[in-house]
Amino acid sequence: MKILVTGGLGFIGSHTVVELQNEGYEVVIIDDCSNSSEDVLDGIVAITGKKPLFEKLDLKEKDKVVDFFKRHHDIEGVIHFAASKAVGESVEKPLLYYENNIGTLVYILNELSKKAQANFIFSSSCTVYGQADELPITENAPVKTAESPYGNTKQMGEEIIADTCKVTTGLQAISLRYFNPMGAHPSVEIGELPKGVPQNLVPFITQTGIGLRKELSVFGDDYPTPDGTCIRDYIHVVDLAKAHVVALQRLLNRANESNYEVYNLGTGKGSSVLEVINSFEKVSGNKLNYKIVDRRQGDVISAYADTTKANNILGWKAKSTLDEAMKSAWDWEQKIRN
């Protein structure tokens, strides 16, 4: 059974390719390598013993998308990761984000709509909730006005998929709203490798720990939380990848109650920035050089998931602890720098 993974050389995409191949799926990867590297294929092969088919392709080029689906008419499912994801950059370059994140989604859905049956999984985000009114956050929480064009592309993406499913009987789709992915594969063959300055907390911590960054800035310690720093739900990337496989199986088995569903993916537990730093210091044995600075505009105070729906309907649950995820991230950082 052939599954297309767009952005399959990226952080979450590559781990999902591994889990798909471990379950016996034939995987085709599309990636333009704008924030990834073809070297990731070597890591996937080292773990699974099998090389996925790879096409370097820019999904913004509609003609190439049409041609791809003509050549791969037997694709039975698409997991769509490919997107620009830097919040700050999206504020500075909104049109780039709308073109890359929305235009490409439309082109893919256009091709899937031509099929008698098609299955689609969308890489969404907890950013759609903003600062939620209640914690933990359920899938029924209101979607707030986005704080950035990036967040807006996730909201709009979900709306586009829902609208398409309403009028396309053969299309089934699931949006997975991630909380904060971190870590690396236990083999240390693949992991998070951001180009340039990391946008996420954990790779900035590990890069500071290894000496690549001078110090970590903690944005504010005066929030209404137990230690004054922001709280997020950090989930091991392998747990996250496994959720995509069970979501795909639900679609392929035609088990959906409706042809469009939404699930939160997190651990259900919030950890503060200082708790994440403490976790790093514990698993690495190193003190981290950090300083408290002013709050950062747009940061929500606290966000962590209610995962009851995914637990009960998908039969999925995050298994790794914060320390286990941090240990894998640190092992990966040491490997790539050495």
Q: Among all residues, which ones are annotated catalytic?
A: 150
Tokens representing 113?
A: 């709509």
326 vs 112, 189, 265, CA distance in Å?
Answer: 38, 16, 18
Cis bond upstream, residue 136 (ω within 30): yes
3-state secondary structure of 173: strand
Distance CA 146, CA 132 (A): 12
d(CA 299, CA 297): 6
Asked if 222 and 274 count as a contact pair (C-beta separation under 8 A), the reply is no
Query: What does the alpha-carbon distance between residue 85 and residue 181 come to, in Å, rounded to a whole number?
Result: 13
Region label for 300, one of left (φ > 0), alpha (ψ between -120 and 50) or beta (otherwise) = beta
